[in-house]
A and B are shown apart, each in its own frame.
Chain A
């Protein structure tokens, strides 16, 4: 085997180990950083949700004060979308894309580290607001003009707007990196139509991020102008229009839903074939329906605005495009069921979560069709019916899908299996708790309970379902605790998984768990959609490797050239967030942050590649 060239720090001491994580550019370690951080924020967002549910359990309750309540639902949404679910998907992109396409790392390893550090610092930055004068409190959607200085005089909204800008930079950088990786670093023979479905969905998600984030970026820039420079982009008194914000937000916000769900769809599309021992049914249709969802997803945004009064013609057009998007979504579900049909289905924990995702997402999709009809939407918009719908999509769909992925690839991250029995306990508790929490919320919407209210009186008839919902939410919390204990124990002392515990078909299962730093000692040659199955079952191009020149000019021995660790990404990220914080704390930070950014830019450029 070839030797590995890299100047890694000595990880035997604590400081050496810490330094090795701080300077790492290894996509697998960055994936671990993303996953652990995202799970941490997931727990934070969950605690915020529990406080919301505790307050709503009884009428006229006084568990949290109304001002705190507005902070909680704003930060619950913001945290779950930007700090928990998106980064959890990013963890899977990081771990899996190079492994699945037969590459040694992502295209830009230092940029990858930069994305992570910006995300971490941005997440901390937003949450500092809790102890620095009040957290954001205008909803995760931040509708103007409630975000204007006149109605929000503290820095809460500035934390939110600047924080989202910071996180947007992280997402866009990561997406560019993933797209270049997928386009350029595939192993020989890995054509687009042989890529694992997860890679397809990741690529579509990355494109969605690149096209969707500029809309909210512009919206936030205009908002900051309104707040810092007294412009009136969203203020009618100065000739602006609050509805402009809604357009900019939802042109981003609706594709964001698909940014959150497509990775989970990709995960499920890997797991269902493995545990039914059959290839994905209708591969091309599943891939193209993902692309169709993404494309049409840019043309449905005003279905979030059916009650704004845009007029019957706009409502009709967007109702029709919204109905249309149900078709490719339905097609995906039929293809998944057809994948199971005729298979040999084993109910391991990853499979249970994947099936749970399909079953729950169906409900979210169907309630979405109900909401897509404007006359119906007029009654249920901004009620708990919508809260139920979005959680069936983003929890029943995304969270179940992501947990399926965690159970499935945990062995690839750690070399150990998560405990099966506790995994099943986690699944059952979460499935029941989830349905107890959100199914009754449909009913609350029908009963006329608006969203985002911190209390309701006892004569409204909302008591029963709110109590059931709160009981369910605490059941979810127990299930997450079961998972956390299982994960910590299994990471230390779980059963050794070996390279291929599930008899799976994609490339990442052909290399050891956890993979060596260079992933593939020899770059494989691919000639099918399931190269690992082909190799094990004796079909296809078994075991062939590419002849990649490993020797640079002037060297005698073949080397695997791996990128060196670098501390410039973390310095650059810190400089960026420091500069942003200058708009809130003191202008001097803008200067200091810009200097840090500039110095790290030069350091980055001057850093030797070898």
Chain B
């Protein structure tokens, strides 16, 4: 008898724990999670979150009712000594029609709320929309502002309260452009062009990450979006358009000289020098960025030195080919690159 009771209770206890657990999970969502989808800063991201909340709480409602019914039935109808053969019911047409209609109504409601938001997410640009091309590469992001004449990498700058159309392309395999606080993801598909329009509403730096498996360094393909005031953005654009800042010290000059001898020029562009390669990220103003190596290392003296001393250790599988550098050479290159503000 006792054993049976315990058997009957195992499920309910597990279920209750599960229910409390899921409530806890959602409650603790707002920790230090910089890439969370719960802090939208555009209408698109807010639409997605509102819908998520509605469907989630509907699902919680269904969960409580259905699992509750299951647990109740399991406890109420557990076998007791002296049980005869239970009544042999085979079905109940009206009941079955009812529990077909109720979930139908629920999914119709969800569908009705979903469809307008699908079309809202697909809205096209307006007359004054800023255009940006985002191009996925194994394993970094290239950003081109065709109307402003700016090319940069891994750090997208956008003016606040200005509608932007981002045009997604890929140079090699599938990637996906995802900045949870700005919008749900959209894939970068080679041979196709995807577009979306957003209007960032608050300034700040937002994390993004490739969300479609793209090979060995998929985990290390990140980027940031800097949303700034109109004047800050204009200043940034002016700076980006200018050629590289000339080397300010002897060591930096030595660094610039290494560009050619170490082969950097074959892949990278630094306007104002002979470096005009188009395979790797554009570096004319690399010193002004927050991160290097697609959001993996801080753009500090140490970060750059670590990268140049062994790019394959930082990001296994990446395509940067660099001869082994002496410590002096690393120092010179780092000093030079840090100066490229």
Contacts and interface: CB of A to CB of B under 8 A. Distances in A.
3 nearest A-B residue pairs (beta carbon): A378-B184, A236-B191, A448-B35
Interface string A441-464: 011001111111111100111100
Contact of A66 (B29, B180, B194, B316): B316
A279 B87 CA distance: 10
Interface string A315-344: 110011001101100110111011011111
A65 B115 contact: no
A381 B213 CA distance: 12
B59 A343 contact: no
A130 interface: no
Nearest to B33: A461
A167 interface: no
Contacts of B4: 347
Given A327-B100, A452-B213, A370 B55 contact: yes
Contacts of B207: 448
Interface residues of B, number: 103
Interface of A is mostly: helix
Interface string A356-378: 10110011001101101111111
B13 to A, nearest CB: 10
A608 interface: no
A382 B48 contact: no
A283 B91 contact: yes
A96 interface: no
A453 B190 contact: no
Interface string B78-107: 111001111111111001100110011001
B38 to A, nearest CB: 6
Contacts of B26: 443, 446
Nearest to B55: A370
Interface stretch (A29-37, A306-314, A407-415, A577-585): A306-314
Report, as a range, how many residues of chain A touch the other chain: 35 or more
Contact of B31 (A316, A424, A461): A461
A355 interface: yes
Contacts of B186: 307, 309, 378
B202 interface: no
A369 B187 contact: no
A267 interface: no
Contacts of B183: 378
A366 B52 contact: no
B32 interface: yes
A592 interface: no
Interface in A419-446: 424, 428, 431-432, 435, 439-440, 442-443, 446
Contacts of B10: 347, 352, 428
B205 to A, nearest CB: 13
A603 interface: no
A218 B54 CA distance: 40
B174 A440 contact: no
Contact of B192 (A243, A278, A331, A448): A243
A383 interface: yes
Interface in B1-54: 4, 7-8, 10-11, 14-15, 18, 21-22, 25-26, 28-29, 31-38, 45, 47-49, 51-52
A316 B115 contact: yes
B21 A373 contact: no
Contacts of A373: 51-52, 55, 110, 114
Contacts of A327: 100, 103-104, 107
B70 interface: yes
B69 interface: yes
Interface stretch (A17-25, A138-146, A248-256, A483-491): A138-146
